[in-house]
A and B are shown apart, each in its own frame.
Chain A
């Protein structure tokens, strides 16, 4: 019976509900637009607007938004050393987003592998991995990040390493949960009966089931990573001063907040918009992928 119905069962598995349904989901579309916009800026912006982080122009410092410098207009003003705030935000976007992407890729990759192993094999493998995760979760994330970043020193690579270490746990837990619920399903049993290897079962049958909850976690984590990176940079433990990310731009403008607010506020707005949109997008995706909420 089971073998006969295999195809049917597969199609009816609730985990296989597609994330984007056939009719257009306006909420997701609207929320995605700013995110896509920033990604676009991060990729192509630096090619369009010339910016050298080393160049300063002290004669044109602290100019308000819209000021004219020669033939060029500083739409978002200039900072304390005469650099264009708009250009800095665009270049900062590239750093902030690439740190987020790299962290989610590395931290997420490690988390997924460990989560799969932990959920699938159970026993002592599960115990060891999950206890490590528990120990790590008992520390506040940002404290742990500060500790690691302080030891490694400020550089873009080190920020990615730091954040990956602090982020893998969430991925591992979600994937482990999905794996445990999937591993006793009929279609996995069938694969086992056919004689598929552990590797094949994990990659071909269980991993696809985990993808949909994973997508939600990834979206949420991207927002959190951008915030963490900004926090670290704000504290002087993130990206180095010559490689300004948004967090660092905000931090450097603090002294001028009462006289030249645009230095901190402009990157702050960009950061807020991006993180809020990514966060809502994550929430919406979760709601969409949760069959119980939909009913």
Chain B
């Protein structure tokens, strides 16, 4: 009896050791097996993390302009036109023409279905655009201010009419996500929405994680991934640990101080691309003291922008030369504000604030890399000219609410020119009608409208050049730096292209 017992014990120990060894060498073995058996044997599951949580999947709501929402929308929904690097390519729309300056006719694919199997028709496109325009919640609604009507001529033809010529209509369409007309109006729809995109929603917890599964019936070929999870890991250190341990397969928006650490890890590739992201610090020009251009300029002269960017951001950012990043259509270089605290003090004195003043600055913690460090550095420089900052760090949802309600003196944030066209930022944010920062200038409005309505690229560039100059010289905000988009991707991930918008498309991505 005792003998049998010890044999049993030995077998147990042996089994444990054997499984333990298998576990240790598992990584290489499993991938070898997968190759010999054909790649279908291993589940293609991918987890990525970003630093800002997805708060809503509603592509017509107040979070529409948020990069995190765009990231989710890119996977779930389709658009008529896509921005592929520097040119616009067909997506749901196969072709389009302009019978006259005010009319656009789009021909749609007829083989597209939503995730529930219903067919995508011109009616859905009409309903989606109308929902975006009539709900007026999206910060992007203003892009469509010139819309006259949208009609579903037949199942595969959409006719869009505008009141005035609209030069950036195709760019705008890259951000119009199509949802089923009969369902998308209900309130609960966006908790677990359906679209026609490469991934369908499995579950969604706002600000935490979004679980997607591959849409096998996708019209452009089924995605290689079976499932994709987009997590929110706001802590940078935790996010870096997660990519190093393999808990996540890719992440982006990596602070300068952590890149060297990741580069030492042989399992991780670092990619970078010029991004559409940049930092700005807006002034609320509708209220004292920032209603005075001298005060706004003084704030800029007080900053040693070059030193801040070099010390805090190193190779991950460049000093900005215009109110929009240099990779955007409509960029033109402006005269930089030199570091001159004496001049700043002089300007404050002229404006009637010889002893400086106190002002409130809002930001959201996850709004950009090293935002707290940047905020403190700015505060320190401004303190030297007597401007005291009351810091007000807010939760993201609360921050968006206050920001749109103009309930602030200064607002520090990052922004992305997601469409790649200056109209998205300049035409959307700085036109008086939008009233996003209290700045009103009729001449600027005129230029922005002209640029929007012109279909001639050279003329548009000229208008934007003048618009840049006004925004820059009137110091509507301070534009310290444009960021590079840094991606950390594990070596077994194939086909992921760094997106300048922070919203990469996972349609073609696979795991080896």
Interaction A to B: yes
Question: Residues on A close to B: CB < 8 A?
Answer: 54-56, 58-59, 61-62, 80-82, 236, 240-242, 252, 254-260
Q: Is the pair B393, A58 in contact by a Cβ cutoff of 8 Å?
A: no
> How far is it, in angstroms, between the C-alpha of A82 and the C-alpha of B376 when the chains are bound?
10
Q: Which of B299-335 contact A (CB under 8 A)?
A: 307-308, 311-312
CB-CB nearest 10 A-B residue pairs? A58-B311, A56-B380, A255-B236, A54-B383, A81-B376, A56-B377, A255-B237, A81-B373, A80-B373, A56-B376
Judged by a CB distance under 8 angstroms, whether B257 is at the interface is yes
B436 to chain A, nearest CB (A): 26
Which of A236, A240, A259 is within 8 Å of B258, CB to CB?
A259
> How far is it, in angstroms, between the C-alpha of A258 and the C-alpha of B264 when the chains are bound?
13
Known: A62-B257, A255-B258. 5 other contacts (CB 8 A): A81-B380, A82-B311, A242-B391, A255-B255, A259-B257
> How far is it, in angstroms, between the C-alpha of A55 and the C-alpha of B377 when the chains are bound?
8
Judged by a CB distance under 8 angstroms, whether B86 is at the interface is no
**Chain B residues, Cβ within 8 Å of A54:** 379-380, 383
**Chain A residues, Cβ within 8 Å of B370:** 80
B402 to chain A, nearest CB (A): 14
**Chain B residues, Cβ within 8 Å of A56:** 376-377, 379-380
Question: Residues on B close to A: CB < 8 A?
Answer: 235-237, 240, 255, 257-258, 260-261, 307-308, 311-312, 365, 370, 372-373, 376-377, 379-380, 383, 391, 393
> How far is it, in angstroms, between the C-alpha of A257 and the C-alpha of B236 when the chains are bound?
10
**Chain A residues, Cβ within 8 Å of B260:** 259
Q: Is the pair A255, B235 in contact by a Cβ cutoff of 8 Å?
A: yes
**Chain A residues, Cβ within 8 Å of B237:** 254-258
Which residue on chain A has the smallest CB distance to residue B255? A255
With A58-B312, A240-B391, A242-B391 already in contact, the answer to whether A80 and B380 are too (CB < 8 A) is no
Q: Give the total number of A-B pairs whose CB atoms are below 8 A apart.
A: 57
B381 to chain A, nearest CB (A): 8
Q: Is the pair B373, A236 in contact by a Cβ cutoff of 8 Å?
A: no
Which residue on chain A has the smallest CB distance to residue B369? A255
> How far is it, in angstroms, between the C-alpha of A260 and the C-alpha of B236 when the chains are bound?
14
> How far is it, in angstroms, between the C-alpha of A5 and the C-alpha of B230 when the chains are bound?
80
A42 to chain B, nearest CB (A): 24
**Chain B residues, Cβ within 8 Å of A80:** 257, 370, 373
Q: Is the pair B240, A258 in contact by a Cβ cutoff of 8 Å?
A: yes
Which residue on chain A has the smallest CB distance to residue B236? A255
> How far is it, in angstroms, between the C-alpha of A147 and the C-alpha of B307 when the chains are bound?
41
> How far is it, in angstroms, between the C-alpha of A56 and the C-alpha of B240 when the chains are bound?
26
Contact sample, A vs B, 10 pairs, CB 8 Å cutoff: A58-B308, A59-B307, A59-B311, A62-B257, A81-B380, A236-B393, A242-B391, A256-B237, A257-B237, A258-B240
> How far is it, in angstroms, between the C-alpha of A26 and the C-alpha of B235 when the chains are bound?
45
